[in-house]
Amino acid sequence: MPTQAAELVFDDATKVYPGRDGAAVDHLSLTVPAGEICVLVGPSGGGKTTALKLVNRLIPLTSGYIRIDGRQIGDYDVTELRRSIGYVIQQVGLFPHMTVEANIGTVPRLLGWDRKRIHARSRELLELVGLDPDTDRRRFPSELSGGQRQRVGLARALAANPALMLMDEPFGAIDPIVRTRLQDEFLRLQQEIRKTVVFVTHDIDEAIRVGDRIAILRQGGRLAQYDTPQRILEQPVDEFVADFVGRDRALKALALRTLGELELAKPDGADGLPRLPQETNLRDALATLVAEHKNALLVLGPDGSPLGVATREDLLG
């Protein structure tokens, strides 16, 4: 699959709804580098969804600019713009009267692809999102579970290989267990396809899990902080951000690092220590130490061989 991604720039982007006091999005300026996931997060009334919909012009800008790879969105033909951007919403919005394959082929058909190419593309995408290209493609949305529908929604958004994806609470309506799995799969997928993604959520934990960068918006659509998850957790710029990320932000920061990233002591005399694989995150490792009343643990390599010992102090850095 060809890799392409666009840089997205919000430049003083402002949205004021007529007849309403104050802005929904207030002079928002931020740059999403090509191939990165930017999560817009914040309380309701923070303008996250409005900011997202400004990009594909579902909502018109009041003032300021939004540029995709340097070109202003206003310079595109609006349907051409939307067809070149993948769009995923919480309720998925699959067409109930079309099969999975026809749903995925929506934008390619609009772009005039031939049937063979559309068919091949939908097979490829079904495989990519973890569905069965042979059986699932003929099914109708009413025959799918919520998680499967959201996978089809994602495949449909990716169909024409857009350089930019807009995702509006894509996993918001899915139960927590499936949501975590979809988040993991989405991140694995992103490793492969490297799209520029704008991802809206109200859930700070999801933002931390998914985002390369997080933009925290506060009431009135003002940007509070735009940073990596690590820096947001370790250096919140003000009370509002600190409150929003929560009292357990130190623990959340631990969850971003794994045992494999630590410098380990030699695995001598490690008998009786808890054993954990190196991809375990530091938060889970610490929880294990607390639960087992131990002060150190043995880190295992991919083949199960001992790599070294990490102490409680090592985990807490």
Contact status, residue 198 vs residue 137, Cβ threshold 8 Å: no
Residue 161's nearest CA partner among 131, 199, 133, 122 is 122
Nearest alpha carbon to residue 12 among 237, 221, 166, 168 = 221
Q: Which is nearer to another protein, 100 or 233 (CB)?
A: 100
Minimum distance of another protein from residue 257's CB (angstroms): 37
CA 231 to CA 228: how far, in whole Å?
Answer: 5
Site residues, another protein (CB under 8 A): 56, 58, 78-83, 87, 89, 91-98, 106-107, 110, 139-143, 153, 156, 166
Report which secondary-structure segment, H or E, holds 217.
Answer: strand 213-218
Distance CA 244, CA 226 (A): 14
Q: Contact at 8 Å (CB) between 297 and 309? A: yes
**SS3 call for 234:** helix
Which of 17/95 has CB closer to another protein?
A: 95
167 closest CA partner among 195, 144, 138, 131: 195
Name the H helices within the chain: 48-55, 78-83, 100-104, 106-110, 115-128, 146-158, 176-193, 204-210, 229-234, 239-245, 249-254, 282-292, 312-316
CB of 149 to another protein, least distance (A): 11
Of 92 and 262, nearer to another protein (C-beta) is 92
CB-nearer residue toward another protein: 170 or 308: 170
- Min dist. Cβ of residue 207 to another protein (A): 22
- Least distance to another protein from the beta carbon of 255, Å? 33
What minimum distance in Å lies between the beta carbon of 294 and another protein?
50
Residue closer to another protein (CB basis): 169 or 227: 169
| Least separation in angstroms between CB 278 and another protein | 41
Strands 63-68 and 8-15: antiparallel
Closer CB to another protein, 91 or 235, in the complex? 91
**DSSP secondary structure letter of residue 281:** B
Residues listed for the chain: 317
Beta carbon of residue 80, minimum distance to another protein (angstroms, whole number): 7
For 141, the token pair is 């949305």
Of 49 and 225, which CB lies nearer to another protein in the complex structure? 49
